[in-house]
Chain A
């Protein structure tokens, strides 16, 4: 069996859902940096996805949507701010100091808004949500403000993106990946 077959088989079982918890965690960590694995997963999602069409529905409890709305309240602003920060790298334009300062303000505000609006949830159900928001906030708090003046807009956007990835990994319960990313962020020198 070639390595390519192996990756494809792993991706197939990942999408199907038959992997053990350890294997699944491994694939989750690996797919972020392994383009061929990520592509194989996407291809299998397209192949097997149509099976979801025939899944019989079930009525969720009536109160659920209002709980979802309550949890996204305050996040609308967060999403707008993320959108404002992320295109920095996408467009790869040159930015003046004002843009960097704007991005800085957005990052700090984002961190604060995010933290303040991350509800703790019922005990035991979201053990990671508070600590993820806290870790995100702590990272930006510890990031010396003077450093912003020394780094390029592109670096700042990269940093912001990495911090969001760490937050996402943490929220997704992928602690190993989140810890590795937060550690890398903390060690960065400018």
Chain B
């Protein structure tokens, strides 16, 4: 259900006041996205079901912490989802390499439906990501979307963990400098 950023902000503010109808609207508008995020990091639907419940319970409890001036509602919600999913994934380590998809379906940059929805912030970030070496860019996206640790990446690309760490940190520093914020 496409809902504007303004609608989401209003729904979050009403949720903070204990409005269950607004909370339901928020869930209907965002659960598709958040479930996608959580499933990719955890790789298991049963765990993802549990974590998604925790995500929305936290949203219910903390909706008042959302500050519309410092970010979009969907990135605020996604940060909660990623955090809880990463925490759960880390509790269940180690994952075997077989748990990762053979062909990594990173979010498509050629999906026409997605193109017009992209925010200015995302376009800027993507331009900066394009400034990285292609394999470094993939590394960054792999970690972000699949929550892979340095150790897991090291096993996957057959490079020492220290090398992976250096690559990641250099790529991130380059992104920061490119974004200039």
Chain A residues near B (Cβ < 8 Å):
8-9, 12-13, 16-21, 24-25, 42-43, 45-61, 64-65, 67-69, 71-72, 75-76, 79-80, 83, 125-126, 172-173
Report Cα–Cα, A82/B165, bound state, in Å. Answer: 42
B90 close to A57 (CB less than 8 A) = no
Query: Apart from A18-B153, A55-B107, A60-B49, what are 10 other A-B pairs with CB-CB below 8 Å?
Result: A12-B169, A16-B168, A25-B90, A45-B71, A53-B119, A55-B36, A65-B24, A68-B27, A79-B60, A126-B50
Q: Please, which residues of chain B bring their CB within 8 A of the CB of A51?
A: 107, 122, 125, 141, 144-145
Give the residue of A16, A43, A76, A83 whose beta carbon is less than 8 angstroms from that of B144. Answer: A16
18 A-B pairs whose Cβ atoms sit less than 8 Å apart in the complex: A9-B172, A9-B173, A12-B172, A21-B149, A46-B70, A47-B125, A49-B72, A50-B119, A51-B141, A53-B117, A56-B108, A57-B33, A57-B35, A58-B36, A64-B49, A64-B52, A76-B20, A173-B87
CB distance from B143 to the nearest CB of A (A): 5
A173 close to B91 (CB less than 8 A) = yes
Contacts A20-B151, A69-B20 given: A59-B32 contact, CB under 8 Å?
yes
Chain B residue with the shortest CB-CB distance to A25 = B90
Report Cα–Cα, A49/B74, bound state, in Å. Answer: 9
Q: Please, which residues of chain B bring their CB within 8 A of the CB of A69?
A: 20
Q: Please, which residues of chain B bring their CB within 8 A of the CB of A53?
A: 74-75, 78, 117-119, 122
CB distance from A129 to the nearest CB of B (A): 10
B37 close to A50 (CB less than 8 A) = no
Quick check: is B109 within 8 A (CB to CB) of the other chain?
yes
Q: Please, which residues of chain A bring their CB within 8 A of the CB of B135?
A: none
Interface residues on chain B, size class? 35 or more
Quick check: is B79 within 8 A (CB to CB) of the other chain?
yes
Contacts A12-B169, A60-B31, A60-B32 given: A71-B53 contact, CB under 8 Å?
yes
A19 close to B74 (CB less than 8 A) = no
Quick check: is B121 within 8 A (CB to CB) of the other chain?
yes
Q: Please, which residues of chain A bring their CB within 8 A of the CB of B168?
A: 13, 16, 18
Give the residue of A19, A52, A125 whose beta carbon is less than 8 angstroms from that of B50. Answer: A125
Quick check: is B39 within 8 A (CB to CB) of the other chain?
yes
Q: Please, which residues of chain B bring their CB within 8 A of the CB of A21?
A: 90-91, 93, 149
Q: Please, which residues of chain A bring their CB within 8 A of the CB of B104?
A: none
Contacts A58-B39, A173-B91 given: A52-B33 contact, CB under 8 Å?
yes
Chain A residue with the shortest CB-CB distance to B45 = A61
Instruction: Flag B77-108 by CB within 8 Å of A: 1 or 0 each.
Output: 01100100011001101000000000001011
